[in-house]
Amino acid sequence: MTRLDWLNRLSFEDAQAEFLRCCGSQRWAEAMARARPFQNQEALFAEASWLWSQTGPEDWREAMLHHPRIGDVSKLREKFKATGAWSEQEQRGMEGAGEDVIQALAEGNRAYEERFGFIFLVCATGKSAAEMLALLRERMNNAPDQELKVAADEQAKITRIRLEKLLASP
């Protein structure tokens, strides 16, 4: 049985829980669980993207609550048990970062949250700590509504990666 078959056969509640691991929006996860069965992975990815496009600021903010701060590697497994290993992989760019970059990210995260009211969300996969810091600094210039949309787009990228991981998991 493929992982897609497995996902299609889960109970509604179990499927919803798996989708919540990919994106913390309850409304999105429920809609994904209802949309099953998926004929193939492409159909799953297309539906995930379309359903995310139907969400709004409340859903985006809810999804952000399910992410650790960039650079908060020490708390990933403790606080985010369901997605901790995935988050740790996604933030691998923090490995080898200098203390100056780590401190600047911590300070930048605090300033970002004060300005926008939510955590700095970036699809960290493949990015170094310095790249994430540069993005954080650049995005501090965005208007709040614009930044919320940018963060929602980043969530969509993260969701896609996590759906791929879900389908690849043993």
Catalytic pick among 21, 66, 67, 127: 67
The Cα 165–Cα 87 span in angstroms is 11
Examine the residue annotation and report whether 67 is marked as an active-site residue of this protein.
Answer: yes
Please name the residue ranges forming H helices in the chain: 3-9, 12-22, 26-35, 41-53, 57-64, 76-79, 84-90, 99-116, 129-139, 144-168
8 A C-beta contact, residue 29 and residue 52: no
Cα angle 10-30-149, degrees, rounded to a multiple of 5: 135
Catalytic residues: 67
